[in-house]
Chains A and B, each alone.
Chain A
Amino acid sequence: MKNLTPREIMAIMAARELRGYRTVLVGVGLPNLSANLAKKIYNPDMVLLYESGVINTHPTRLPLSIGDPTLTERTDAIFSVFDMFAFMISGNRVDVGFLGAAQVDVSGNINTTVIGSYKNPDVRLPGSGGACEISYSAAVSIVMTELSESKFRTAVDFITSTARHGQMAENVKERGVLKLITDLGIVEFGASGSTRVGCIYDISGLGRLRDVFNRLGLALDDDVSVAESIEDDEILALRQLDPDHLYIN
Chain B
Amino acid sequence: MSKLTTLTEAIRENVHDGDSVYITGFTHLIGFSAGHEIIRQKKKDLNLIRMTPDVIYDQMIAAGVAAKLTFSYSGNPGVGSLRCIRRAIEKREPLPIEVEEYTHGSLISALFAGASRLPFYPVPAVDSTDLRKYNSQYRVVRNPYSGKNTTVVGPLNPDVGIIHVQRADQNGNAQMWGIIGEQKEVAFASSRVIVSAEEIIDHDLVFDDPNRTIVPGIIVSAVVQEPYASHPSYAQGYYDRDNRFYREWNEISKSESEVKKYLEEWVYSVSDRAEYVSKLPSELIRSLSMTGMVRGNVNFGGTGS
Q: Decide: B179 and A54 in contact? CB cutoff 8 A.
A: yes
Asked if B105 CB lies within 8 Å of chain A CBs, one says yes
Q: What B residues does A113 contact at CB under 8 A?
A: 101, 130-131
- Interface residues in A, total, Cβ within 8 A: 50
Q: Contacts A64-B243, A80-B182: A126 and B104 contacting too (C-beta < 8 A)? A: no
A53→B183 CA distance, assembly (Å) = 13
Q: Interface centre among B103, B183, B234, B243, by most A CB within 10 Å?
A: B103
A124→B27 CA distance, assembly (Å) = 21
Q: Interface centre among A52, A67, A89, by most B CB within 10 Å?
A: A67
Asked if A202 CB lies within 8 Å of chain B CBs, one says no
Q: Decide: A124 and B90 in contact? CB cutoff 8 A.
A: yes
A68→B86 CA distance, assembly (Å) = 24
- Interface residues in B, total, Cβ within 8 A: 54
Q: Which residue of B lies closest to A63 (CB)?
A: B78
Contact with B along A111-154 (1 / 0, CB 8 A): 00100001001111011111111011100000000000000000
Contact with A along B57-89 (1 / 0, CB 8 A): 000000000000001111101110110011001
Q: Which of B8-16, B120-128, B276-284 contacts A (4 or more CB under 8 A)?
A: B120-128
Q: Decide: A64 and B180 in contact? CB cutoff 8 A.
A: no
Q: Decide: A69 and B241 in contact? CB cutoff 8 A.
A: yes
Q: Decide: B108 and A85 in contact? CB cutoff 8 A.
A: yes
Q: Decide: A67 and B125 in contact? CB cutoff 8 A.
A: no
Asked if A65 CB lies within 8 Å of chain B CBs, one says yes
A79→B108 CA distance, assembly (Å) = 13
Q: Decide: B129 and A160 in contact? CB cutoff 8 A.
A: yes
Asked if A90 CB lies within 8 Å of chain B CBs, one says yes
Q: Decide: B129 and A159 in contact? CB cutoff 8 A.
A: yes
Q: Contacts A69-B178, A122-B90: A162 and B128 contacting too (C-beta < 8 A)? A: yes
Q: Decide: A159 and B128 in contact? CB cutoff 8 A.
A: yes
A137→B104 CA distance, assembly (Å) = 14
Which residues on A are within 8 Å of B, measured CB to CB?
Answer: 28-29, 32, 51-54, 63-69, 71-73, 78-82, 85, 89-90, 113, 118, 121-124, 126-133, 135-137, 158-162, 164-165, 246
Could you write out 25 A-B pairs with CB less than 8 Å apart?
A54-B179, A69-B28, A69-B234, A69-B240, A78-B177, A80-B181, A81-B51, A81-B181, A82-B182, A85-B109, A89-B105, A90-B105, A90-B125, A118-B134, A123-B90, A126-B81, A127-B74, A127-B101, A129-B103, A130-B103, A132-B104, A133-B103, A162-B128, A162-B129, A164-B128
